[in-house]
Structure 1
Amino acid sequence: MPKAYWITTYRSISDAEKVAAYAKLAGPALSAAGGTFLARGLPSYAFESGRMERTTLIEFDSVDAALAAHETPAYQEALRALGDGADRDLRIIEAAS
């Protein structure tokens, strides 16, 4: 079964304190669910329609594992902490074989 990648890009951040509260909870929740953080932070460059906002890339053993991580109580708590603090785009994609 191919690995999967959870990619989150932030379109905008309206409340940095809420994003910090989210990150404090989400990191451990996603790691506990089997995620490995490969990259997180501001882009070095952005092209075409890209934005210079926070991006996160997390590897999971499978799409099912990434979906299961999203639904854990610990990650759902992180989402509640984030609330309306950011406009984000979260995608889960399967690795190329």
Structure 2
Amino acid sequence: MAKGYWVSAYHTISDPEKLAAYNKLAGPAVQAGGGRLLARGGRIVAHDAGIAERTVLIEFDSFEQAIAAHESEAYQEALVALSDGVERDFRIIEGID
């Protein structure tokens, strides 16, 4: 079964307090959904049209598990706390089986 991944690239962070509130809620929600944090805001080298910006990578045992974690009540609560505090590109992608 192919793994699932959350990939978030933060274009701008306009409200660090909202991001902190989101992080406080999102971490437990991700763990409860079976997610494992692989990378968050570390060093980045961007190539081609890439932009060196805060990036988060979370792994799940399956693509379906990644979708379910995003749809969970706990993670939706985290998104409410984040609201308009950031502009980000968030994707759920399927890994190679």
TM-score (norm 1): 0.92
- Give the whole-Å Cα distance in 2 for the aligned partners of 1:50 and 1:85: 22
5+ long unaligned stretches in structure 1: none
AA partner of residue 64 (structure 2): D
Asked if structure 2 preserves the Cα contact closer than 8 Å seen for 1:3 and 1:95, the reply is: yes
Report the Cα offset of residue 42 of structure 1: 4.0
Query: 1:43 touches 1:53 (CA, 8 Å); kept in 2?
Result: no
Q: How does 1:1-97 map to 2 (within 5 A)?
A: 1-97=1-97
Q: What amino acid sits opposite 2:37 in the alignment?
A: F
Deviation at 1:72, TM superposition (A): 0.7
Structure 2: gaps (5+ residues)? none
Question: In percent, how many aligned pairs have the same letter?
Answer: 60
1:45-97 CA-partner distances (Å, limit 9, x unpaired) = 22233233221100001111000000111100100000100011111111113
**Distance in 2 separating the partners of 1:85 and 1:42:** 20
When the two chains are superposed, the root-mean-square deviation of aligned CA atoms in Å is 1.2
Once residues 20 and 50 of structure 1 are traced to their aligned partners in structure 2, the CA distance between those partners, rounded to angstroms, is 26
Q: How does the TM-score come out when normalised to structure 2?
A: 0.92
